[in-house]
Chains A and B, each alone.
Chain A
């Protein structure tokens, strides 16, 4: 089993729709979680951190479920500009340094 797993998609959704992605992780000792966005042929960019209490940034909501070991990203009112690949990142800390694991990403295509 991979340490971090994502549905690769693609998720094809119409403008204005709500879409949600999940990301599961296997290491129960994981401590910090993030969502990154990567546009085609560009570098990943931090979208948001994921906190235990959940967090919201405009149309984006991220949640963490430690019991079931997954994080989620919800996008409301999808825009064409949201089309990208969304990568989840799971960090664990051991021996004084962090182990960073990226998921392989979920591709989102918002269609007019």
Chain B
């Protein structure tokens, strides 16, 4: 049963520290999404990759966030420096883009707490 994996599952850090979250998409999928979920804002799309190329990162604060796909099996989301308002659950999702029916499969998320 293929699944998206994310590490770490939980991260507690202090303000100003760098945070790196990792995602392994389902083998064969060609799209990767990064989302942030909070109680107040719900699910927000941060970045979207297709075939490892970033296509949309308009939802991501550029000054402190960066997203990359060094290879087809790894996507990373980095926050530097982290701030308390970054506390949220960060989900990665992958999918296979086929026309207009692009479904996504979510990983279990990284629960980030910035003190």
B45 to chain A, nearest CB (A): 6
A-B pairs under 8 A by CB, number: 48
How many residues of chain A have a CB within 8 Å of chain B? 22
Scan residues 39-97 of chain B and give those whose CB is less than 8 A from a CB of chain A: 41-43, 45, 48, 50, 55-56, 91, 97
Asked if B43 contacts A44 (CB within 8 A), the reply is yes
How many residues of chain B have a CB within 8 Å of chain A? 22
Out of A44, A46, A91, which one reaches B91, CB within 8 Å? A44
Out of A43, A96, A104, which one reaches B42, CB within 8 Å? A104
Out of A31, A34, A99, A105, which one reaches B103, CB within 8 Å? A34
Name, among A49, A103, A104, the residue most crowded by chain B CB atoms within 10 Å (CB to CB): A104
A59 within 8 A of B: no
Residue of B nearest to A93 (CB): B100
Chain B residues in contact with chain A, CB under 8 A?
33, 35, 41-43, 45, 48, 50, 55-56, 91, 97, 100-109
